[in-house]
Structure 1
Amino acid sequence: MGSPNEGGRLAYADLLRVAAMLAVIMNHAAAGWLESLPVGAGDWHALNVWDSLSRWAVPAFVMCSGMFLLDPKKELSWSSLFFRHLLRIGAALVVWGTVYQLFWAWRDGSLGLGSLLPALRAVVLGRTEDHLWFLPMMAGLYLLTPVLRAFVRGAKRSDFHWFFLLYALFMLCLPLFLRLRGSQTAAYYADHMYLNFNVAFPPLAYVGYYVAGYYLKTYPLSRPVRLLLYALGLAGLAATAGGTFLLSRQAGGLDTALYSNLSLNVALTTVALFVFFRYALGAARLAGSALVRALSEVSFGVYLCHILFLHLLRILGLGTLPLPAAAGAPLLTLLILLPSFALSWLLHKLPLVGRYIT
């Protein structure tokens, strides 16, 4: 099950956050490079594999939040929900949204003393760096948390299974089917039954991952079930990489339908990796190491700031490296990780505000 760290931390949860942090950086490092290559080239295949290997990262971050916040054994007061969790999301969005606006102004040569207020206004209007979409989505999940905690408190295990079945059918399978094949009939019933979890409130699209984090932390899985999930996870990974190649070759350019966080193939890989970290790596010495704990503590900050260093590398002409992509993508990931970790660690040490922006 994984041993607790000091302070009641779960070793496998820390290790999972660190791995997800690396995967997010890999995802963004590989994606921009991949788009510049012709479909089917050797480097294209290598980057497609790296990109496919990293697509589980954001869903895993959502699961890590759900595994703790939905636990009814842990008290979650309204003041804690608003002033600890939601305030952190809001502060991070305002601060980092403004930082990226000012960075764009600097890049375009328009940065000046009057740039701050327009930058803040842009953030309020929702014009932020793409990866910051994660923050308002998580804020929505936090607002749903009291209702979801009531559900998990009274639900039987079979109730969870029914919930996951509905989520998989109407959020992971049906939208992908409609995108790949199209069906007016299926679209009609999905919209009018309101079982597409993304109809009116986007955070609902990720509610399955949020609940799954709690479920997989709480309920033990037998060895045969774990082996089945590992097999399904590998199949999902193969479908992501292989299917993306086939769809891209057919389209004559990169087709990212199977890269979606909200696709069955990515969900299967994410669940398999979560289970692997819990049961196979949770008791490993590395999982409870001081380095893993330190990286885990600032993983949120690394997520927020790493795009800044990716942009800087591109300005320096290092958005792609003069190396085979199989080796170049991991090296580019490392070049982004190191300064991102250093900046996040320094900001995390700031009194009062550090914990809200990293």
Structure 2
Amino acid sequence: MSYSKNFNIELLRFIAILAVILIHMSMSHFYDSSLMRTNYTAWIFNHIYYTATRFCVPIFFIITAYITFNSNSQKNWKQKLIRLGLPYITWSCIYYIYSGGTSIAEFFKKLAGDNTAFHLWFIPSFIGYILLLPALKKIFFDDDKEKFRHLFYIIFFFSIIAPTFIPLSRIMSGDYKFISGLSHFNMTLPALLVYGIAFPYFYKKINIRLGIMSYIAIIGINLLLNVKTSDVTGAPDELLYGFTTALVFISSFILFNTLMNINFKFISPSLRNFIYKAGECSFGIYLSHWIIYLIIEQKGLLLHGRAIIDPLVNTVVIFSLSFALIFMGRKIKFLRYVL
């Protein structure tokens, strides 16, 4: 099967980067304990923003698995490492300098064991994922995927189900701390890899209406569980919104499968072209949007008075500025290597 760039993939990238920005624009309201006590409705809306957008990072991992499993790319691991490593180092440096850092030694220490901006955690994880996907393809593609199905189930349980059950157990009667001890079996692995392992089993043709309804139902259940957990603990809680928790994992695949099966020919050519461009710029937008937020916020140009509307408005503002910056930057050839 050959892969060629298609509109559905770029649309998925486009909505994923919008979702990333919305999470970041709503998190101050989400974590506001006083808002939770004084304006529960507004706080619930930010819970909805959090629930509905948790597919953002998983979609990028699923897209990469889709491309890897459906193409015969000749890029070797060094090319892939440079393609992601160079932007990571460059933008880590930009964020470090912007935050007032001056020590080269401290910069490399952060680069190796931490990060210079919280959202950059994604890049090292993605680098490891990209480098390991070809091996996963060898094991879990075509006929071999049936041979190793048991391995997928074991990894899925230890890396997705068990970690999901731990925070969920806090609102259940009984002591479930023993679940944490399952790691003694040494069956865990970086859970984001499971998006690649699961792809041959989870990527399927799906009824569009059923897919949309299933996605809404699952994120609705996750919303109720997280609200219940927050009410029980007395503070905003997002543990069940983790990118490798079960409901986020399943709903992300459902959303991917659903949107990949929709024919979007009804969208006008001008809007299609915009979405193509936004999808192509999504990686650069991810890298740059936070520093644009910091600059705009410092100048007092973002909204904060309305907890329901402001995250949406600020998302549009930050996305627009980030997209404009990356779109123009990519016209300069050497800048494409870091965008």
Q: Which residue of 2 aligns with 1:265?
A: 247
Q: Which residue of 1 aligns with 2:288?
A: 305
- 1:103 equivalent to 2:103? Answer no
Equivalent position amino acid for 2:64 in 1: S
Q: Which residue of 1 aligns with 2:35?
A: 38
Aligned residues of 2:133 and 2:196 also touching (Cα < 8 A):
no
Q: Which residue of 2 aligns with 1:247?
A: 229
Aligned residues of 1:348 and 1:357 also touching (Cα < 8 A):
no
Q: Which residue of 2 aligns with 1:256?
A: 238
Question: Structure 2: how far apart are the matches of 1:343 and 1:160?
Answer: 45
- 1:221 equivalent to 2:205? Answer yes
Question: Structure 2: how far apart are the matches of 1:120 and 1:141?
Answer: 22
Aligned residues of 1:229 and 1:271 also touching (Cα < 8 A):
no
Question: Structure 2: how far apart are the matches of 1:51 and 1:318?
Answer: 23
Aligned residue among 197, 202, 207 for 2:193: 207
- 1:191 equivalent to 2:164? Answer no
Question: Structure 2: how far apart are the matches of 1:319 and 1:239?
Answer: 32
Question: Structure 2: how far apart are the matches of 1:230 and 1:164?
Answer: 26
Q: What TM-score, normalized by structure 2, do the two folds share?
A: 0.86
Equivalent position amino acid for 2:22 in 1: M
- 1:49 equivalent to 2:42? Answer no
Unmatched 5+ residue regions in structure 2?
A: 170-174
Q: What TM-score, normalized by structure 1, do the two folds share?
A: 0.82
Tell me the secondary structure at the aligned position of residue 261 of structure 2. Answer: helix
Distance 1:186 1:308, change over 3 A: same
1:245 Cα deviation (Å)? 1.4
Aligned residues of 1:102 and 1:115 also touching (Cα < 8 A):
no
Q: Deviations over 1:218-256 (max 9, x none)?
A: xx4254xx6655444223201222222111111111111
Question: Structure 2: how far apart are the matches of 1:161 and 1:231?
Answer: 28
1:99 Cα deviation (Å)? 0.6
Q: Deviations over 1:164-217 (max 9, x none)?
A: 5334422222112123326343333x21322223xxxxxx31112234456666
Equivalent position amino acid for 2:46 in 1: L
Q: How does 1:49-198 map to 2 (within 5 A)?
A: 49-71=48-70, 73-78=71-76, 81-83=77-79, 85-105=80-100, 119=107, 122-155=110-143, 158=146, 162=150, 164-181=152-169, 183-188=176-181, 190-197=182-189
Question: Structure 1: how far apart are the matches of 2:250 and 2:180?
Answer: 24
Aligned residue among 312, 315, 321 for 2:304: 321
Q: Deviations over 1:34-78 (max 9, x none)?
A: 22243252210111111111111000011111111233x513342
Aligned residue among 325, 328, 333 for 1:346: 328
Q: Which residue of 1 aligns with 2:172?
A: none
Of residues 253-262 and 238-247 in structure 1, the stretch that sits farther from structure 2 once superposed is: 238-247
The aligned length equals: 329
Question: Structure 1: how far apart are the matches of 2:148 and 2:213?
Answer: 22
Question: Structure 1: how far apart are the matches of 2:213 and 2:149?
Answer: 19
Aligned residues of 1:63 and 1:214 also touching (Cα < 8 A):
no
Q: Which residue of 1 aligns with 2:279?
A: 296
Aligned residues of 1:176 and 1:263 also touching (Cα < 8 A):
yes
Equivalent position amino acid for 1:207 in 2: L
Question: Structure 2: how far apart are the matches of 1:336 and 1:221?
Answer: 35
- 1:8 equivalent to 2:15? Answer no
1:316 Cα deviation (Å)? 3.2
Q: Deviations over 1:285-319 (max 9, x none)?
A: 35982111111111000001111122223323456
- Of all paired residues, the percent bearing the same amino acid is 22
Question: Structure 1: how far apart are the matches of 2:201 and 2:9?
Answer: 14
Distance 1:168 1:234, change over 3 A: farther
Distance 1:221 1:30, change over 3 A: same
1:154 Cα deviation (Å)? 4.6
Tell me the secondary structure at the aligned position of residue 74 of structure 1. Answer: coil
Aligned residues of 1:313 and 1:319 also touching (Cα < 8 A):
yes
Distance 1:222 1:126, change over 3 A: closer
Question: Structure 2: how far apart are the matches of 1:31 and 1:286?
Answer: 34
Equivalent position amino acid for 1:355 in 2: R
Give the root-mean-square deviation of aligned CA atoms. 2.8
Tell me the secondary structure at the aligned position of residue 344 of structure 1. Answer: helix
Equivalent position amino acid for 1:38 in 2: L
Unmatched 5+ residue regions in structure 1?
A: 106-110, 198-203
Aligned residue among 233, 236, 243 for 2:218: 236
Equivalent position amino acid for 1:98 in 2: C
Q: Deviations over 1:250-291 (max 9, x none)?
A: 111111111111111111221121012111255553598211
Aligned residues of 2:168 and 2:240 also touching (Cα < 8 A):
no
Question: Structure 2: how far apart are the matches of 1:286 and 1:177?
Answer: 44
Question: Structure 2: how far apart are the matches of 1:222 and 1:249?
Answer: 36
Question: Structure 1: how far apart are the matches of 2:156 and 2:265?
Answer: 31
